[in-house]
Structure 1
Amino acid sequence: MRRSLGPYELVRVLGRGGMAEVYLARSHGASGFSREVAIKALAPELVGHADLERALIREATLAGKLRHRNLVAVLGLGVDDGLYYVVLEYLDGGDLSDVVLPEPLALHVISELALGLQYLHDARGERGLPLGLVHRDVGPGNVLVSRTGDVKLADFGITKATALADLTAAGAVRGTYAYMSPEQLGGEPLSAASDQFGLAVMLVELVTGARPFAGDTPAAVMDAMRSGAILDSVVARLAPDVAEVARTALAPDPKARFSSMDELRTTLDEIRRTRLPVGASELGAWVRSRRAC
């Protein structure tokens, strides 16, 4: 691992994907000032790939204009010896991969993400025209939390071409296909409703520890997702009111899902009012206890 990128000291690798690497890094200033950030850079073997560099620059430029408490902030864009990198807000609680939460905490997390996604879907450009943004990769690996109870969605600059590049001609999948909507799996036009599907898969998984679709092969799982063959044995482990939310957002037809993330969130918050009141404080306590183990 290289020791630095631009003015940033690289501390350790946080994650690696097919196209990029993410590092924990530190910036240093006068009088002992130090700040931890995350840095996303193209994988070494892709340096000099003009199309991918342009995509990274577009991602940083667009995401840098978005400001919301539930979206990871983009702090800057740099280049070091031909390697482009994006400087991101760092959250010290990690992501939610392979995590099972008590139902009230899971509902809080999903509600917060729905708030951030509604902001993303509503984003407008400098001329006031809708940007038509869709995240396309909503899943636990892209949800970051902090010791103080923050919930933030990362990688909201991923393009459709990047997401679908994870599907091989043979049907084998290397990426996050398990959270893709049926229309995304089919290469069809996406809409804000497409992000509801991944959010609902994550809701089921956070509460039960299992996903709502299954099959002997990735291709079989994708067929189940496209046909709406939800595993009743898994969804039955949810409370009936939560299961109804999940089934609505998992509808194969985007038009049969909630009309917006706001409607999904409002429905969830009505359910939350019948449960123990939990929020950032309780989530932060859970994160700290997990990190202490």
Structure 2
Amino acid sequence: MLKAIKDQYTFRIVRKIADGGMGSVYEAIQDGTKGYQKTVALKTLLTDLSKNEKFVEMFVEEGKLVADLVHENIVQIYQLGRTTEGYYIVMEFVKGLPLHDFLRSHNLTRSTIPVPLAVFICSRIARGLAYAHSRTDAYGEPMQIVHKDVCPNNVLITTEGLPKLTDFGIAKATSNLMTADDKSLMGKFTYMAPEQANRQAVDFRADLFSLGAVLFEMLTGRKIREDDNQNVLLAKAGKGHVEWQLLSEGLDESIMEILRRCLAVNRDDRYESTQELAHAMEYFIYKDGYGPTIQTLEEYMKGKFPYLYQFKKKGLRNPNEIPTHSDIAPTSVTSAATIILDDD
């Protein structure tokens, strides 16, 4: 598919960033007139998904809904394209790493994420969600946008300390095809709201549950539910199972309240709006008149992941050339292969 995209448009593929359950993501450069260049992320969808008419229909419709989402905490989609070999998406390129790798590094080094910083990251994602959830169409009618897959793999942290949520539209279209034997959905059951796992109609409150599950994991280093058997995990998700005993007894009561409301089995017991959740998180962070900012997170990232900034400073294109001073390197960096398309 890469060659077909290159032949149809002016994209130069720099390297593969990652492979996922829906396809592959590449860093690419889009060339324009008179030397114009823009670095973008290019996601190609798996051939099986591109051939699934039901998925394509949902994917295109969802893509139209989220095309105009422009918010600092949401990865922007620039273009939805198609070649003879399948569909692809052009979106904002983010210099940084997934929250999944951020968490993995802390777990492997047996270090904990400062509570205010964990809440700050989730509060920024809540802001992005609040923006999306409140969008209306040209007639003022609610667009009822729901992400349906808020999880560490879909949260990115930039080298400037800005958390961003990715895969709007793609995630919802894929989740609508959910089956218990789909291995690519194994991790999604961990963060899934009960109503979603039970295939009931969902609204913004499903995203609140998933974000609560992400915050829980950032605070404990453990997921709210785990099991090697997908059917058992899906059953746990349907019951809203949470391993509450993993939380520290000394955790601030206001954080406990946030978690209880986000992870409530009955969605009517969750926050009445994503804006309300964002306010609750921000109150906890800044109630003493100060708290973490994107600059705080950037400095923390520099100390924890120095190789990301060496990569940025030296302008290296191949992740394998990055000199690291850490024993832990995120999978998204270490497994990335440099791919350059031939001119022929």
Per the TM superposition, whether the score is higher than 0.5 is yes
Worse overlay, 137-146 or 275-284: 275-284
Q: State which of 2, 7, 11 in structure 2 corresponds to 1:8.
A: 11
How many percent identity over aligned positions?
29
Where structure 2 has 5 or more consecutive residues not aligned to the other structure, the ranges are: 107-112, 308-325, 327-344
State how far apart, in whole Å, the 2-side matches of 1:76 and 1:161 are: 17
Q: State which of 115, 125, 128 in structure 1 corresponds to 2:140.
A: 128
Runs of 4+ more than 6 Å apart? none
Q: State which of 59, 64, 67 in structure 2 corresponds to 1:64.
A: 67
Letter in 1 for 2:83: D
Q: Aligned in 2, Cα 1:200/1:157: closer, same or farther, shift over 3 Å?
A: same
Report the equivalent of 2:78.
75
Q: State which of 130, 153, 156 in structure 2 corresponds to 1:118.
A: 130
Report the equivalent of 1:207.
219
Q: Aligned in 2, Cα 1:229/1:62: closer, same or farther, shift over 3 Å?
A: closer
Q: State which of 282, 285, 290 in structure 1 corresponds to 2:299.
A: 285
What TM-score does the superposition give when structure 2 sets the normalisation length? 0.76
Deviation track 1:251-291 (CA, whole Å, cap 9, x = no partner) reads 10000111111111111111112466111111122333415
> Superposed, which structure 2 residues align to 1:1-293 within 5 Å?
2=2, 5=6, 6-30=9-33, 32-98=35-101, 99=103, 100=106, 101-158=113-170, 160=172, 162-168=174-180, 173-215=185-227, 217-236=229-248, 238-274=251-287, 277-289=291-303, 290-292=305-307, 293=326
Where structure 1 has 5 or more consecutive residues not aligned to the other structure, the ranges are: none
1:127 to partner: Cα distance: 1.8
Report the equivalent of 2:320.
none
Q: Aligned in 2, Cα 1:228/1:64: closer, same or farther, shift over 3 Å?
A: closer
Secondary structure in structure 2 of the residue aligned to 1:174: helix
1:191 to partner: Cα distance: 1.3
1:130 to partner: Cα distance: 0.7
- Higher relative CO (Cα under 8 Å, sequence separation at least 6) belongs to 2
Letter in 2 for 1:146: T
Alignment RMSD (CA, Å): 2.6
1:250 to partner: Cα distance: 0.4
Q: Aligned in 2, Cα 1:228/1:278: closer, same or farther, shift over 3 Å?
A: same
1:236 to partner: Cα distance: 2.7
Q: Aligned in 2, Cα 1:191/1:85: closer, same or farther, shift over 3 Å?
A: same
What TM-score does the superposition give when structure 1 sets the normalisation length? 0.89
1:215 to partner: Cα distance: 4.4
Letter in 1 for 2:277: L
Secondary structure in structure 2 of the residue aligned to 1:193: helix
State how far apart, in whole Å, the 2-side matches of 1:8 and 1:170 are: 32
Deviation track 1:120-170 (CA, whole Å, cap 9, x = no partner) reads 111111222111111100111101121112211111113656215343259
CA contact (8 A) 1:144 1:152 kept: yes
Number of residues paired by the alignment? 293
Secondary structure in structure 1 of the residue aligned to 2:156: strand
CA contact (8 A) 1:77 1:87 kept: yes
1:28 to partner: Cα distance: 2.4
State how far apart, in whole Å, the 1-side matches of 2:233 and 2:299 are: 35
State how far apart, in whole Å, the 2-side matches of 1:241 and 1:52 are: 41
State how far apart, in whole Å, the 1-side matches of 2:184 and 2:53 are: 27
Q: Aligned in 2, Cα 1:137/1:228: closer, same or farther, shift over 3 Å?
A: closer
Q: Aligned in 2, Cα 1:28/1:160: closer, same or farther, shift over 3 Å?
A: closer
1:69 to partner: Cα distance: 1.4
Letter in 2 for 1:66: L
* Greater share of residues in helix: 2
CA contact (8 A) 1:115 1:265 kept: yes
Letter in 2 for 1:74: I
1:221 to partner: Cα distance: 3.6
CA contact (8 A) 1:211 1:234 kept: no
Q: Aligned in 2, Cα 1:285/1:159: closer, same or farther, shift over 3 Å?
A: closer
Secondary structure in structure 1 of the residue aligned to 2:96: coil
Worse overlay, 69-78 or 169-178: 169-178
1:21 to partner: Cα distance: 2.2
